[in-house]
Amino acid sequence: MTALWSARDLAAATGGSTKHDFTVSGISIDSRTVDAGDLFIALQGPNFDGHAFVGEALAKGAVAALVAQSPAGLASDSPLLTVADTLAALSALGRAARQRSPARIIAVTGSVGKTGTKEALRLALSGQGSTHASLGSFNNQWGLPLSLARMPRETAFGIFELGMNHEGELAALSPIARPHVALITTIEAAHLGHFTSLEAIADAKAEIFTGVESGGTVVLNRDNAFYARLAKAAGQRGIGPIIDFGEHRDAAIRLLDCRLSATSSAVTASAMGDVLEYTIALPGRHWVMNSLAVLGAVKAVSGDVAAAAGTFAQLTGLPGRGMRHTIQVRGGSAELIDESYNASPAAVRAAIAVLGTATVSPGGRRIAVLGNMLELGAESGRLHVDLAAPLVAAEVDLVFTVGDDMARLHAALPAAMRGSHCATAVEMADLIADALRPGDIVTVKGSLGSRMTVIVKHLLAGEKPPAATAAG
């Protein structure tokens, strides 16, 4: 077991107390996924209390639990580290992990592409030094410190995703991460319902600059309409230089050419004047732009940019973010592109574009199953209707829609493109399964709250969806 924290170090970091001596090799906040050697942290929320699962976590091999009070029914000699507040202790532990680490830290945010860019960075740097990155989308007030607390002492590169849907959230997270490099993928209409304008979203994303270390670097999308606004915000905090990426003729990481295919992209780019040619093993122009951002961040941490570009040929799809599956349908098989994790107008357009490049078998069709894009505020109806044009341009054959706002898109589509419309994903699951035929390629996408994963799971496993009582 590789030591991550000792009991003494944990107590010092969190201000807690313990009568036990132990060493942990991991940190967990979910008793269902505890590994032997973990410290289990009993977080409390409005609808749950991790203290109820301490006994289960210890039984599964956790060497100790961090608690605010001793749970009822535990043996008196149970290995506990007691603190005043477990979430505050987790935050303190994340700060302590960052304080002790010599790693070069990269923080990634943006309206879309955060997780994909973070994972591409993990792959790009893993061959250049010990690399640690946050799991999945662990990017909020507990996900970031948890990811930091899990960072081994010997890490050379630390890559962390920072998320937000309200003003002030990145201003709180960035000083915890204290990045050497702050990367903003792009600014788009995501979480617009919580902001007065796109400018306000850009200003909230610029809060990531608050924690950047002295001498740090910012990586920005030169093609985005808010580049100048973000660059100015970075300059006002004394951050420089800026490494920009995009098609702009002055971009430091510049796209010279790309050839998009159904399953990959061939890219020619200039990195500070050095011409690179590389293949991305995932389709879509959005992945081309993500790759440029990654090269900028690698350059910012003095990594080998050419070697990083070579790793893009090994990229694989992420669950809920473009992963492809062969599924069984009546009479044969079809292809499922799982984009069900989340959705914004820019992300849905990217998914539609990828579907448009897909090569269908004879008799097959391009099919989109789209759920509501949430948190778009007063512009929501228009933004849903605006998806009709890219769907037509991509020559999508049928569009199935889920939710109130997607009903507006349904009405705006040419009649020949309209599949079924349902209020909930649960209702749609059987309908789309029955509608698919051999050779079809189907993309499923929607915001997390629209529960489009229900449809994906149904198509993958052929299981009946739960009773139609949940919100769609």
* Beta strands, E only, 229-375: 242-246, 253-260, 265-271, 274-280, 323-329, 332-339, 366-371
What is the rounded CA–CA span in Å between residue 246 and residue 103? 28
- By DSSP bridging, strand 332-339 and strand 323-329 are antiparallel
| pLDDT at residue 465, rounded to an integer | 42
Range of the domain at 217: 101-314
Average pLDDT over residues 187-195: 81
pTM: 0.90
Same domain, 355 and 447: yes
Under DSSP, the state recorded for 466 is: P
Name which residue leads in pLDDT, 12 or 192.
12
Q: Measured on CA atoms in the order 346, 349, 351, 353, is the torsion positive or negative?
A: negative
Would you state the structure tokens that stand for residue 304, as one six-digit string?
A: 């080998």
What is the rounded CA–CA span in Å between residue 206 and residue 204? 5
Look up the CATH number of the domain holding residue 15: 3.40.1390.10
**Per the domain annotation, does 131 fall within a domain?**
yes
| pLDDT at residue 360, rounded to an integer | 93
Q: pLDDT digits over 82-97, tens only?
A: 999 999 999 999 999 9
DSSP H helices, 284-344, are 285-300, 305-310
Same domain, 335 and 434: yes
What is the identity of the amino acid at 239? Answer: I
- By DSSP bridging, strand 38-41 and strand 44-45 are unpaired
Q: pLDDT digits over 321-333, tens only?
A: 899 999 999 999 9
pLDDT band at 225 (very low <50, low <70, confident <90, very high): very high
Same domain, 306 and 327: no
Q: Which of 131, 191, 199, 144 is nearest to 171 (CA)?
A: 144
Q: Which of 297, 94, 100 is nearest to 180 (CA)?
A: 297
Q: Over 70: is that where the pLDDT of 48 sits?
A: yes
Q: Can you tell me whether residue 115 is helix, strand or coil?
A: helix
Q: Over 50: is that where the pLDDT of 132 sits?
A: yes
Q: Which residue do the tokens 């050839």 mark?
A: 259
pLDDT band at 47 (very low <50, low <70, confident <90, very high): confident
Same domain, 163 and 246: yes
Q: How far is CA 165 from CA 56, 144, 168, 405, in A?
A: 34, 15, 9, 20
Our CA angle for 239, 241, 242, nearest 5°, is 95
Contact 152, 130 (CB under 8 A): yes
Q: In what order do the strands lie in the sheet with 323-329?
A: 323-329, 332-339, 441-445, 366-371, 398-402, 418-422
| pLDDT at residue 468, rounded to an integer | 38
| pLDDT at residue 211, rounded to an integer | 96
Q: pLDDT digits over 377-434, tens only?
A: 888 999 999 999 999 999 999 999 999 999 999 999 999 999 999 999 999 999 999 9
Same domain, 115 and 70: no
| pLDDT at residue 73, rounded to an integer | 87
Per the structure, how many domains does the chain have? Answer: 3
Q: pLDDT digits over 142-159, tens only?
A: 999 999 999 999 999 999
What is the rounded CA–CA span in Å between residue 454 and residue 472? 10
Average pLDDT over residues 255-266: 95
| pLDDT at residue 241, rounded to an integer | 85
What is the rounded CA–CA span in Å between residue 237 and residue 178? 14
What is the rounded CA–CA span in Å between residue 113 and residue 119? 10
| pLDDT at residue 93, rounded to an integer | 97
| pLDDT at residue 149, rounded to an integer | 97
Average pLDDT over residues 346-355: 94
Same domain, 332 and 216: no
**Per the domain annotation, does 93 fall within a domain?**
no
Strand partners, 443: 337, 368
**CA-based radius of gyration for the chain:** 23
Percentage of the chain lying above the pLDDT 90 cut: 86
Look up the CATH number of the domain holding residue 435: 3.90.190.20
| pLDDT at residue 471, rounded to an integer | 32
Same domain, 52 and 186: no
